[in-house]
Homo-oligomer: A and B are copies of this chain.
Protein backbone atom coordinates (compact mmCIF):
# COMPACT_ATOMS: atom_id res chain seq x y z
CA UNK A 1 0.00 0.00 0.00
CA UNK A 2 2.89 2.29 0.87
CA UNK A 3 4.53 1.31 -2.45
CA UNK A 4 1.33 2.15 -4.32
CA UNK A 5 1.06 5.59 -2.64
CA UNK A 6 4.66 6.37 -3.55
CA UNK A 7 4.18 5.31 -7.16
CA UNK A 8 1.05 7.41 -7.43
CA UNK A 9 2.98 10.36 -5.99
CA UNK A 10 5.76 9.90 -8.56
CA UNK A 11 3.23 9.81 -11.41
CA UNK A 12 1.62 12.99 -10.12
CA UNK A 13 5.04 14.62 -9.96
CA UNK A 14 5.73 13.63 -13.56
CA UNK A 15 2.39 15.05 -14.71
CA UNK A 16 3.10 18.22 -12.78
CA UNK A 17 6.56 18.58 -14.34
CA UNK A 18 5.17 17.92 -17.81
CA UNK A 19 2.53 20.62 -17.26
CA UNK A 20 5.12 23.12 -16.07
CA UNK A 21 7.24 22.32 -19.09
CA UNK A 22 4.30 23.05 -21.37
CA UNK A 23 3.33 26.22 -19.51
CA UNK A 24 6.65 27.92 -19.18
CA UNK A 25 9.22 26.50 -21.52
CA UNK A 26 8.01 26.44 -25.09
CA UNK A 27 11.31 27.77 -26.33
CA UNK A 28 12.55 27.36 -29.87
CA UNK A 29 14.96 28.98 -32.21
CA UNK A 30 13.72 30.81 -35.30
CA UNK A 31 16.06 32.37 -37.85
CA UNK A 32 18.97 32.14 -35.41
CA UNK A 33 17.16 33.94 -32.60
CA UNK A 34 15.94 32.30 -29.45
CA UNK A 35 12.17 32.60 -29.28
CA UNK A 36 10.51 32.07 -25.95
CA UNK A 37 6.76 31.50 -25.88
CA UNK A 38 5.43 33.11 -22.74
CA UNK A 39 1.95 32.23 -21.56
CA UNK A 40 -0.06 34.79 -19.63
CA UNK A 41 -0.72 34.66 -15.94
CA UNK A 42 -3.92 36.29 -14.86
CA UNK A 43 -3.03 38.62 -12.02
CA UNK A 44 -4.61 37.41 -8.84
CA UNK A 45 -4.12 40.57 -6.88
CA UNK A 46 -6.50 39.68 -4.13
CA UNK A 47 -6.10 35.93 -3.95
CA UNK A 48 -5.07 35.41 -0.35
CA UNK A 49 -2.81 32.38 -0.06
CA UNK A 50 -1.66 31.48 -3.51
CA UNK A 51 2.03 31.65 -2.73
CA UNK A 52 1.57 29.28 0.17
CA UNK A 53 -0.43 26.93 -2.03
CA UNK A 54 2.19 26.94 -4.78
CA UNK A 55 4.89 26.44 -2.22
CA UNK A 56 3.14 23.50 -0.64
CA UNK A 57 3.04 21.77 -4.00
CA UNK A 58 6.77 22.19 -4.70
CA UNK A 59 8.32 21.50 -1.39
CA UNK A 60 12.02 21.39 -2.30
CA UNK A 61 14.47 23.85 -0.84
CA UNK A 62 12.43 26.96 -1.57
CA UNK A 63 13.17 30.21 0.26
CA UNK A 64 10.62 30.52 3.02
CA UNK A 65 7.42 32.36 2.20
CA UNK A 66 7.29 34.37 5.40
CA UNK A 67 4.27 36.59 5.74
CA UNK A 68 4.26 40.39 5.50
CA UNK A 69 5.52 42.20 8.53
CA UNK A 70 6.63 45.80 8.85
CA UNK A 71 10.07 45.16 7.36
CA UNK A 72 11.98 48.22 6.17
CA UNK A 73 15.24 46.73 4.95
CA UNK A 74 15.67 48.47 1.54
CA UNK A 75 17.57 45.43 0.27
CA UNK A 76 14.51 43.26 0.75
CA UNK A 77 12.66 42.71 -2.48
CA UNK A 78 8.97 41.93 -2.43
CA UNK A 79 7.94 39.23 -4.84
CA UNK A 80 7.39 41.01 -8.16
CA UNK A 81 5.79 38.14 -10.00
CA UNK A 82 2.17 38.42 -11.10
CA UNK A 83 1.00 36.53 -8.06
CA UNK A 84 0.62 39.89 -6.36
CA UNK A 85 -0.67 38.17 -3.30
CA UNK A 86 2.66 36.44 -2.72
CA UNK A 87 3.77 37.76 0.64
CA UNK A 88 7.39 36.67 0.11
CA UNK A 89 10.15 39.16 0.71
CA UNK A 90 13.79 38.33 0.37
CA UNK A 91 17.27 39.57 -0.36
CA UNK A 92 18.41 40.08 -3.94
CA UNK A 93 20.54 36.95 -3.91
CA UNK A 94 17.56 34.65 -3.50
CA UNK A 95 15.07 36.41 -5.81
CA UNK A 96 16.01 34.29 -8.83
CA UNK A 97 15.58 31.02 -6.99
CA UNK A 98 12.30 32.21 -5.50
CA UNK A 99 10.92 33.15 -8.93
CA UNK A 100 12.12 29.91 -10.54
CA UNK A 101 11.13 27.53 -7.84
CA UNK A 102 8.02 29.07 -6.34
CA UNK A 103 6.52 30.66 -9.42
CA UNK A 104 8.08 28.49 -12.13
CA UNK A 105 9.28 31.52 -14.10
CA UNK A 106 11.56 30.34 -16.84
CA UNK A 107 15.09 31.69 -17.33
CA UNK A 108 16.64 32.15 -20.76
CA UNK A 109 20.24 32.65 -21.85
CA UNK A 110 21.50 34.91 -24.63
CA UNK A 111 22.09 38.54 -25.48
CA UNK A 112 19.17 38.73 -27.94
CA UNK A 113 15.95 36.85 -27.55
CA UNK A 114 12.39 37.12 -28.80
CA UNK A 115 9.69 37.14 -26.16
CA UNK A 116 6.47 35.84 -27.70
CA UNK A 117 3.53 36.74 -25.48
CA UNK A 118 0.44 34.66 -26.24
CA UNK A 119 -3.25 35.38 -25.70
CA UNK A 120 -2.96 39.17 -25.72
CA UNK A 121 -6.77 39.38 -25.81
CA UNK A 122 -7.14 38.17 -22.22
CA UNK A 123 -8.70 40.77 -19.94
CA UNK A 124 -6.59 42.97 -17.69
CA UNK A 125 -4.91 42.49 -15.29
CA UNK A 126 -2.65 39.93 -16.94
CA UNK A 127 1.13 39.50 -16.90
CA UNK A 128 3.70 37.81 -19.07
CA UNK A 129 7.01 37.28 -17.29
CA UNK A 130 10.36 35.78 -18.11
CA UNK A 131 13.86 35.94 -16.65
CA UNK A 132 16.76 36.59 -18.94
CA UNK A 133 20.33 35.70 -18.07
CA UNK A 134 22.85 37.80 -19.93
CA UNK A 135 26.23 39.54 -19.44
CA UNK A 136 26.67 37.86 -16.07
CA UNK A 137 23.39 39.13 -14.64
CA UNK A 138 19.75 38.16 -14.46
CA UNK A 139 17.03 40.43 -15.79
CA UNK A 140 13.30 40.21 -15.44
CA UNK A 141 11.08 41.12 -18.38
CA UNK A 142 7.53 42.01 -17.41
CA UNK A 143 4.75 42.68 -19.90
CA UNK A 144 1.61 43.74 -18.08
CA UNK A 145 -1.89 44.41 -19.38
CA UNK A 146 -3.53 46.81 -16.98
CA UNK A 147 -6.41 49.25 -16.88
CA UNK A 148 -4.99 52.46 -15.45
CA UNK A 149 -8.14 54.09 -16.72
CA UNK A 150 -11.29 52.02 -16.54
CA UNK A 151 -12.30 50.45 -19.82
CA UNK A 152 -8.97 51.43 -21.38
CA UNK A 153 -6.47 48.56 -21.06
CA UNK A 154 -2.86 49.31 -21.93
CA UNK A 155 0.25 47.16 -22.22
CA UNK A 156 3.37 48.07 -20.26
CA UNK A 157 6.70 46.39 -20.93
CA UNK A 158 9.84 46.88 -18.89
CA UNK A 159 13.07 45.13 -18.09
CA UNK A 160 14.50 45.17 -14.60
CA UNK A 161 17.82 44.03 -13.26
CA UNK A 162 17.80 41.57 -10.42
CA UNK A 163 20.51 43.68 -8.80
CA UNK A 164 21.06 47.13 -7.33
CA UNK A 165 20.30 50.46 -9.07
CA UNK A 166 24.07 51.08 -9.36
CA UNK A 167 24.54 47.78 -11.17
CA UNK A 168 21.52 48.54 -13.37
CA UNK A 169 23.15 51.77 -14.58
CA UNK A 170 25.74 49.69 -16.42
CA UNK A 171 23.21 48.33 -18.89
CA UNK A 172 20.90 49.41 -21.66
CA UNK A 173 17.99 47.29 -22.80
CA UNK A 174 16.04 47.52 -26.00
CA UNK A 175 12.54 46.28 -26.71
CA UNK A 176 11.54 46.16 -30.34
CA UNK A 177 8.24 45.50 -32.07
CA UNK A 178 8.32 45.00 -35.80
CA UNK A 179 5.37 44.06 -37.96
CA UNK A 180 3.20 45.30 -40.83
CA UNK A 181 5.85 47.79 -41.98
CA UNK A 182 5.83 49.45 -38.59
CA UNK A 183 8.60 49.40 -36.04
CA UNK A 184 8.58 50.64 -32.46
CA UNK A 185 11.74 50.65 -30.36
CA UNK A 186 12.20 51.51 -26.71
CA UNK A 187 15.68 51.85 -25.25
CA UNK A 188 16.43 52.65 -21.64
CA UNK A 189 18.52 51.81 -18.64
CA UNK A 190 16.91 48.93 -16.76
CA UNK A 191 15.56 49.75 -13.34
CA UNK A 192 16.51 47.65 -10.36
CA UNK A 193 13.92 45.26 -8.94
CA UNK A 194 14.53 47.12 -5.66
CA UNK A 195 12.57 49.98 -7.30
CA UNK A 196 9.58 47.64 -7.72
CA UNK A 197 7.91 46.88 -10.99
CA UNK A 198 4.58 48.38 -9.88
CA UNK A 199 6.18 51.83 -9.46
CA UNK A 200 7.88 51.71 -12.85
CA UNK A 201 4.59 50.84 -14.50
CA UNK A 202 2.53 53.38 -12.60
CA UNK A 203 5.14 56.05 -13.48
CA UNK A 204 4.75 55.02 -17.13
CA UNK A 205 8.54 54.89 -17.48
CA UNK A 206 8.47 51.93 -19.86
CA UNK A 207 7.23 50.90 -23.28
CA UNK A 208 3.52 51.68 -23.34
CA UNK A 209 1.13 50.35 -25.96
CA UNK A 210 -2.54 51.04 -26.22
CA UNK A 211 -4.81 48.30 -27.49
CA UNK A 212 -4.83 49.45 -31.11
CA UNK A 213 -1.02 49.53 -31.34
CA UNK A 214 -0.78 46.15 -29.62
CA UNK A 215 -3.18 44.75 -32.22
CA UNK A 216 -1.16 46.24 -35.10
CA UNK A 217 1.95 44.49 -33.81
CA UNK A 218 0.26 41.20 -32.89
CA UNK A 219 -0.05 38.14 -35.04
CA UNK A 220 -2.87 35.76 -34.22
CA UNK A 221 -3.15 37.13 -30.70
CA UNK A 222 0.58 36.83 -29.97
CA UNK A 223 2.98 39.72 -29.60
CA UNK A 224 6.66 39.21 -30.43
CA UNK A 225 9.03 41.52 -28.56
CA UNK A 226 12.68 41.48 -29.57
CA UNK A 227 14.91 41.99 -26.55
CA UNK A 228 18.54 43.01 -26.52
CA UNK A 229 20.74 43.95 -23.59
CA UNK A 230 24.06 45.72 -23.92
CA UNK A 231 26.51 47.27 -21.54
CA UNK A 232 25.68 50.90 -21.17
CA UNK A 233 27.14 53.84 -22.97
CA UNK A 234 25.53 57.26 -23.26
CA UNK A 235 22.93 56.91 -25.99
CA UNK A 236 24.69 58.13 -29.09
CA UNK A 237 22.48 60.72 -30.59
CA UNK A 238 21.39 62.28 -27.28
CA UNK A 239 23.90 65.08 -27.75
CA UNK A 240 22.74 65.66 -31.30
CA UNK A 241 19.15 66.40 -30.32
- When C-beta atoms are compared, the residue in chain B nearest to A238 turns out to be B178
- Contact B183 A235, beta carbon cutoff 8 Å: yes
- Which of B149, B152, B184, B189 makes the CB contact (< 8 A) with A185? B184
Query: Cα distance A238–B182 when bound, in Å?
Result: 9
Q: Is A2 an interface residue (CB 8 A)?
A: no
Check B188 against A185 for contact (C-beta < 8 Å).
no
Contacts of A32 in B (CB 8 A): 240
Chain B residue nearest in CB terms to A35: B241
Sort chain A's interface into a size bin.
35 or more
- Could you say which residues of chain B place their CB within 8 Å of the CB of A212? 203-205
| A213, A216, A224: most-surrounded residue (chain B CB, <10 A) | A213
Which listed residue, B207, B226, B239, touches A237 by the CB 8 Å rule? B226
- B residues in contact with A204, CB < 8 Å: 210-213, 216
Shortest C-beta distance, A192 to chain B (Å), equals 14
14 pairs across A/B with beta carbons < 8 Å? A114-B241, A149-B152, A178-B241, A181-B188, A181-B189, A182-B205, A183-B188, A183-B238, A184-B187, A203-B212, A204-B211, A204-B216, A205-B212, A208-B209
Listed from nearest, the 6 A-B pairs whose CB atoms lie closest are A204-B212, A183-B187, A185-B185, A182-B188, A178-B241, A149-B152
